[in-house]
Amino acid sequence: MKRILLASIALASTVAATAVARPLTINDVVGFSRVGAPVVSPDGRWLVWQQRETDLAANKGRYDLWRLDLATKGALPEPLVAEGDVNETGPQFGANNLVIFQSDKGGKDAIVSIPVAGGTQTVLATPPGGFSGFELSPDGTRALVWADRLPGAPTIEPAEIKRDGNAGSGRVFGKLFIRHWDTWSDGTRSQLFVVPLGKDAPAVPVSGSLDGDSPSKPFGGGEEVAWSADGKTIFFALREAGTTEPLSTNLDIWSVPADGSAKPVNLTPDNDGMDNLPTPSPDGKWLAWFAMKRPTYEADRQVLMLRNLATGETRALTEAWDRSVGSIAWSPDGKKLFVTAEDTQENPIFQVDLKTGKPTRLTQEGNVTAIVPTKKGVVFSMNSLLGPDDFYSLTGKAPTRLTTVNAAKMQGIDLPTITRFSFTGANNDTVWGYSVKPAQLRDGEKAPIAFIVHGGPQGTMNNSWSYRWNPAVFAGAGYAVVAIDFHGSTGYGQAFTDAIRNNWGGWPLEDLQKGLATATAKFPWMDADNACALGASYGGFMMNWIEGNWPDRFKCIVQHDGVFDARAMAYETEELWFDEWEHGGHPYYEDPAAFEKWNPVNHVDKWRTPMLVIHSDKDYRIPVTQGIATFTALQRRGIPSKFLNFPDENHWVLKPKNSMQWYGEVLGWLGTYTGKK
């Protein structure tokens, strides 16, 4: 059976033959180093990145900067900046091979430089009030900084808010988005400022009077803002708030003079769908970004767009390609465009022809997470189901591995076997899935099944590493994992992704049923009659739906952050555009039948499967009351059940100790009902 990810083969070669094989555990995963934000020096010699290490005692991660000499054969990664409790993040290259980065030394956010070969750190700027991130100007003399300030702030100095000493603690709101993801609104927005480096000069606000966040919240970063090649213009993505922000996905691409001499101009006013990832070419000729056509649909196809910056002429470069562009990068000479796009359980690199829009696939297996074009090719980071991110270079037909960051930590770990399979699912469409076989399963033994359903719902259980829902950890605990990319999943064309709308409990459930039947018939080492189902977010909804619509198949269920009552969800969630789009495009009061058709609460009378419910207090996407209601229904029906609540987590479980507790409870629950110790 084939293990997917060519990188795992190279990694296996680093493991000593004398090591005693053992299964992967969550303790291993929590301790792995995590690499990100790679940059390559203009001369192509140095690769620099930020690397996260887990501080278990502090229950958080800490970031250092690392480097690799690409010009020296056999060179090993080494720390560039690693100071105690200081976080060093966001490395970028300035002039003379200086690495410019963000530091929180002394509890103050600063922009700092250090020679890539090592040496003395120099503080270049300490914007008052702190900031979230920055992008270095092409000449290295300024930084585009984003920081939470009041809309239209005339200075980066935080505004002083006078408070009445006799006032109560109440907060008053006049429009929606009173809270978002895991944060209550405090009136501030992510605003943009141009900060001079190395000299005492005031920051220049460039967001104008726009009421919106750039980068967008909660997940936007430096990929949503950019400098023009000549450093005279700033491009950024922003959704104007107004009174419709919770109903709108309409981010637009804006341009503004970097000196703040004019107001921002909307470059994409005619598209009411999302425009994002503004990426100007290094030769100053083009601006690339992606565009979605349909308003309020956050999972529409992301088409690569190209604008001639001299003439303003715009064209949809990948209109004929039925895949969704996930990232964009230009070659240093501005003659090549590299993108990532999900494709049948992989997330590879493609080169897109600037004239025809034709994509050429450059990598085959693995989940590419960052691309840094160089004069010779590309350096990129990639992970898979069998290992976290490492760095590779591509200068010919096959990638060359540059790092094995976690080789020592993975020494002796016996990884599972991954096998992909397809079957005819709902609507007679081809549906893909994969199995994960425990490495230490002996011949003739059967493994109980962990049937994992992904969230989104427009997502995928693809060939990628996860620090939260990690199939290899379940396999390490002795479970056969089955994962199905049901209708609604991404990477199979837009029609397949769209098929879940108004269909949450229909075709997806049929795919899951047929997929599990296919897997258990195909793999004799699976214990078909000893299975538990697990899922989060939409997967959590599906767990509640399975309770009432497939009630006799599983020994137990794990439901994390799932929708229990569609009516309550329609009024409690914050990003209304998502819930309303998924159920036909109307609010609940206009079309209640569309929501009630797939409402798990309507089938509680048929519930009977033991369930572990997990929900966190800071989850504002699917509020914790949905989890409490699920647990109440189970308890009132006398069904064996537990409720795991994290008061300090959001829609995800992120803190190291909480992650370890999560896996302990989940695997313990599975063990109780499958007999697996």
Enzyme catalytic residues? 537, 619, 651
The one-letter code for the residue type at 215 is P
**Coil/strand/helix, residue 466:** coil
Token output for 10: 């190279």
Contact 530, 675 (CB under 8 A): yes
Instruction: Give the max Cα distance, the chain.
Output: 74
Contact 49, 644 (CB under 8 A): no
Angle CA 116–121–127, to nearest 5? 115
Interatomic CA distance for residues 586 and 182, integer angstroms: 25
**Coil/strand/helix, residue 592:** helix
Distances (CA, A) of 471 to 175, 452, 467, 610: 41, 8, 10, 22
Interatomic CA distance for residues 74 and 281, integer angstroms: 33
Q: What string of DSSP letters covers 650-676?
A: -SS--SHHHHHHHHHHHHHHHHHHH--
Interatomic CA distance for residues 63 and 34, integer angstroms: 9
Phi, psi of 221 (to 5 degrees): -145, -150
Interatomic CA distance for residues 485 and 462, integer angstroms: 8
Contact 530, 584 (CB under 8 A): no
Contact 414, 386 (CB under 8 A): no
CB atoms within 10 A of CB 213: 25
Q: What share of the chain is helix, strand, coil (3-state, %, to 5)?
A: 20, 35, 50
Contact 392, 7 (CB under 8 A): yes
Burial of 192 (C-beta count, 10 Å sphere; 0-12/13-18/19+): buried
Pairing assessment for the beta strands 275-280 and 430-437 based on DSSP bridges? unpaired
